[in-house]
Amino acid sequence: MISPLILTNVFTIGPVAVSAPVVTTWALMALIGGGSFLATRRLKMRPSKAQATLEMLVDAIDSQIREIVRVEPAPYRSLIGTIFVFTLCANWLGLIPGLEPPTSRLETDAALAGIVFVSTIYFGVKNRGPLGYLKTFAEPTWAMLPLNIVEQITRTFSLIVRLFGNVMSGVFVIAVMLMLAGLLVPIPLMALELLTGAVQAYIFAVLATVFIGAAVGEGTEGGRG
């Protein structure tokens, strides 16, 4: 089992080495982007099964955003939906022989958590204004300012550690079982990994929504657009 802290370089672009997880991530992004384009280019009033499934997914994401942020979901749908779909597909890649899920690498999880961190600040400033957003760090009193700043940083690290730990542990267990017991015995574990991957993607997307909701605040003008 290759250490998750060691990267295997596939090729280089000038002085920049491109690792295997990066290539896998690029391929996954291309597949998701291409699939999304094909699924949405010919939408109909009487939806096909594929369109109906896609609409159910969008409705579920919208409903989750409304429940957590309590605003209209349109400004946040693309971000939360993309995070969920990418994380879900990335988690499930480990079930394909020879492929390693990008989310089993710290670099990918750190990038996802970084997107959430930057998005939280962006939506907070957009909806509250720069001063209004900064004032949230002094709530409920100015004495909480250092703790609120530390919380903003530590919860980003918690996203990284949670996703990395759960996905990497699943990959490790399946790999060990394959080495010890052959191909058929780990099948129940792989089925469980399907569920675990879905749950972890859901939790990551929900936490991202919670963090953005805390920055935006309920019923702000920008959130109703």
- The pLDDT tens digits of the residues spanning 63-94 come to 999 999 888 899 999 999 999 999 999 999 87
Close Cβ partners of 67 (under 8 Å, ≥ 6 residues apart): none
- Does a structural domain hold residue 23? no
Distance CA(201)–CA(86), nearest Å, equals 8
pLDDT at 29: 93
Give SS3 for 225: coil
**pLDDT greater than 60 at residue 222:** no
What type of residue is 149?
I
pLDDT at 165: 85
Q: Name the DSSP letter for residue 134.
A: H
- Does a structural domain hold residue 44? no
pLDDT at 190: 73
- Does a structural domain hold residue 16? no
- Does a structural domain hold residue 211? yes
Distance CA(19)–CA(13), nearest Å, equals 11
Q: Name the DSSP letter for residue 221.
A: T
Per-residue confidence band for 220, with pLDDT thresholds at 50, 70 and 90: very low
Close Cβ partners of 88 (under 8 Å, ≥ 6 residues apart): 197, 198, 201
**pLDDT greater than 70 at residue 98:** yes
pLDDT tens readout for residues 186-210: 667 777 778 888 999 999 999 999 9
- Does a structural domain hold residue 207? yes
- Tell me the average pLDDT of the chain: 83
pLDDT at 56: 92
Dihedral angle computed from the Cα positions of residues 122, 128, 134 and 136, in that order, rounded to the nearest 10 degrees: -110
Given a contact cutoff of 8 angstroms between Cβ atoms, the answer to whether 103 and 87 are in contact is: yes
**pLDDT greater than 60 at residue 4:** no
Report residue 46 as tokens: 């009487």
Domain with 160, as residue range(s), is: 33-39+50-224
Instruction: Supply φ then ψ for residue 48, to 5 degrees.
Output: -75, 175
Q: What is the pTM of this model?
A: 0.83
Q: How many structural domains does the chain have?
A: 1
Given a contact cutoff of 8 angstroms between Cβ atoms, the answer to whether 105 and 21 are in contact is: yes
- Does a structural domain hold residue 167? yes
Segment 48-52 mean pLDDT: 83
Per-residue confidence band for 182, with pLDDT thresholds at 50, 70 and 90: low
- Does a structural domain hold residue 28? no
Give SS3 for 12: strand
- Does a structural domain hold residue 164? yes
pLDDT at 23: 87
